[in-house]
């Protein structure tokens, strides 16, 4: 009787161990299956060429987000805005001189200078904003339109290094009208050059703990730019340049 109980206990223990081993093997098999599925998923992602952004370098991310077609279109439009309006304005100045003189004579000389200055300043601001916000087509559109307007005015008024000779030959005694617009454009360009020089000088020379470093901040820099541009315009309007040239 005791031998039968011992044999029964031993058999029950063996069955329990066998059942435990079976469950362990089942769990191991499930784990291996899940691992195989995960590996297959990762392999599928890698085969599709998809790499998480967290594993990409900054250069790779910029390259991924770049739009070469859009940049090509923008460059072509910029070149067109530089060449076509200037050529058309120059054509009008040379072929329809009298009509152009009549229309320019309807505007005061200082106002002509202000128009040339304003268009150039808007062009420079749009250019700066395109650099700061390279993905914004709003500022790119403003730049193209402003640049085309500035080039058209330059063509109408025969803007070049020694513009006063060309304007005198073409417009005669009314050359001062074209010269006023040219002076406005040149004043804005020189003002931007002075601002760029001062901005770089502050970045290079002035110490980081100096109060002058506040001028390198966005709105302070923009205010400094407008102050310099207004000084340049004031020199043209009130410095006697409109009567000299």
User: Which string of DSSP letters, residue by residue, matches 71-128?
Assistant: HHHHHHHHHHHHHHHHHHHHHHHHHSHHHHHHHHTTS-HHHHHHHHHHHHHHHHHHHH
Three-point CA angle 225, 140, 202, nearest 5°: 25
3-state helix, strand, coil in the chain (%, to 5): 85, 0, 15
Domain boundaries, the chain: 2-50, 66-244
Q: What is the pLDDT along the chain (245 residues), one digit of tens a residue?
A: 444 444 444 444 444 444 444 444 445 545 544 544 454 445 444 444 555 555 555 555 556 566 788 889 999 999 999 999 999 999 999 999 999 999 999 999 999 999 999 999 999 999 999 988 878 889 999 999 999 999 999 999 999 888 888 999 999 999 999 999 999 999 999 999 999 999 888 888 877 777 777 777 778 888 999 999 999 999 999 998 888 76
| Polymer length of the chain | 245
Look at the block and give the residue holding tokens 């899940």: 34
Contact 113, 183 (CB under 8 A): yes
d(CA 109, CA 171): 15
Structure token digits, residue 62: 């910029």
Which pair of structure tokens corresponds to residue 71? Answer: 């940049």
Q: CA–CA separation, 38 vs 87, rounded Å?
A: 65
């Amino acid at each position: 009787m005791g031998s039968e109980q011992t044999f029964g206990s031993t058999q029950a223990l063996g069955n329990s161990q066998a059942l435990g081993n079976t469950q362990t093997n089942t769990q191991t098999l499930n784990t291996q299956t899940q691992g195989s599925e995960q590996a297959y998923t990762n392999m599928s992602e890698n085969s599709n060429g998809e790499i998480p952004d967290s594993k990409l370098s900054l250069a790779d991310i910029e390259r991924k987000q770049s739009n070469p077609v859009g940049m090509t279109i923008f460059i072509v439009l910029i070149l067109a805005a530089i060449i076509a309006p200037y050529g058309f304005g120059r054509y009008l100045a040379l072929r329809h001189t009298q009509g152009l003189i009549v229309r320019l004579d309807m505007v005061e000389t200082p106002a002509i200078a202000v128009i040339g200055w304003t268009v150039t300043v808007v062009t420079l601001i749009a250019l700066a904003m395109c650099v700061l916000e390279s993905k914004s087509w709003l500022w790119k559109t403003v730049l193209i339109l402003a640049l085309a307007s500035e080039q058209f005015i330059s063509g109408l008024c025969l803007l070049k290094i020694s513009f006063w000779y060309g304007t005198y030959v073409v417009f005669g005694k009314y050359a001062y009208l074209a010269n006023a617009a040219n002076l406005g454009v040149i004043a804005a360009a020189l003002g931007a050059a002075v601002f760029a020089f001062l901005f770089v000088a502050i970045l290079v020379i002035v110490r980081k703990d100096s109060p002058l470093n506040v001028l390198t901040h966005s709105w302070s820099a923009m205010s400094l730019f407008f102050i310099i541009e207004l000084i340049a315009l004031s020199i043209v309007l009130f410095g006697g340049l409109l009567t000299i040239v």
